[in-house]
Amino acid sequence: MRYELWDTAEKLNSCRTVELSHPLDNTSPYWDGMPKGVVELAETLIDYDEMDLRIQTFKFPGQFGTHIDYPAHFIRDARLAGGFSIDETTMLPLCVIDVSEKVAQNPDYEITKDDILEFEEKYGRIPEGSFVAMRTDWSLRWPDPVLLANADEDGNEHFPGWTVPVLKFLYEERGVAGTGHETLDTDSAVGCAKAGDLIAERYVLGRDAFQVEVMTNLDKLPPAGSLIFIAAPRFSEANGLPARVWALVPQE
């Protein structure tokens, strides 16, 4: 007897798996606006000597490492993690917009609508309900906080990002479900400084959508044709959570 989903699983298991999340430990970087002591991973609560078992505790901010942001991160009374169904975030078609060469020339680069249209000309229209990731290769700087911030001699940070017009195009004209990137923030550093706010991130979360930050290994993915999987603990009241993110890529 054959079962359709089991046949599908067999086909998916033949795909290549790509890890899209960073490993985390007590030295992993996080936003410097958080107070010291917010990260304490794998602290031993009960050790083998007492009960012949070990239990650990984990303390971390929701926005730590590769993580998913929910609307309430920026928007008052908006949806938290518990308000999202499995269908909304777990498995989505994945499109990767590669602007890494432009970022190599200009670390302040902001992705443009032309970058999106150029992608579509080569790979087809971005499907509704998909996840769009911006590849910058900024993840190669992980886990060095100095390289991630890329500050100049005056202390001004320089890293690439999204803009509101590009995100409006993706969410409103293409109907994407979520977006992601390798940097610590949605907005470029210069864009944030100019606006005095993370306006691109505020736009995404204000749409009742979600995003994934601090992704990695986007350079190991094809531009189109993969599936992204996003998994996080089921903490109902969370406005952000570290996530295990990976992709399935068809074998060539």
* pLDDT tens-digit series, residues 13-39: 899 999 999 999 999 999 988 998 999
- Taking only the tens place, the pLDDT of each residue in 185-200 is 999 999 999 999 999 9
* Tens digit of each residue's pLDDT (9 = 90 or more) over 156-183: 999 999 999 999 999 999 999 999 999 9
pLDDT at 85: 93
Determine if residue 155 is left, alpha or beta; phi over 0 gives left, psi from -120 to 50 gives alpha, anything else beta.
Answer: left
Split into its structural domains, the chain has a count of: 1
Cβ burial 26-43 (10 Å sphere, 16+ → b, else e): eebbbeeeeeeeebeeee
Q: Which CATH number covers residue 87?
A: 3.50.30.50
Q: 193 φ, ψ to 5°?
A: -65, -40
**217 in a domain, yes or no?**
yes
Q: Please check whether residue 66 lies inside any domain of the structure.
A: yes
The pLDDT assigned to 104 comes to 98
User: What would you report as the CA-atom Rg of the chain, rounded to the nearest whole angstrom?
Assistant: 19
* Position 142 in a domain: yes
For residue 2, being part of any structural domain is answered with no
State residue 32's pLDDT score. Answer: 87
Q: Is the pLDDT of residue 218 over 80?
A: yes
Domain membership of residue 71 (yes or no) is yes
Domain containing 30 equals: 14-249
Give 94's strand partners.
131, 226
Decide if 192 is inside a domain.
Answer: yes
- Residue 252 reports pLDDT greater than 80: no
pLDDT for 222 equals: 97
Query: Is residue 5 situated within a structural domain?
Result: no
Query: Using CA atoms, how far apart are residues 144 and 62, in angstroms rounded to an integer?
Result: 20
Burial-class residue 114 by CB neighbours within 10 Å (0-12, 13-18, 19+): exposed
- Closest Cα partner for 58 from 26, 88, 80? 26
Is residue 9 assigned to a domain?
no
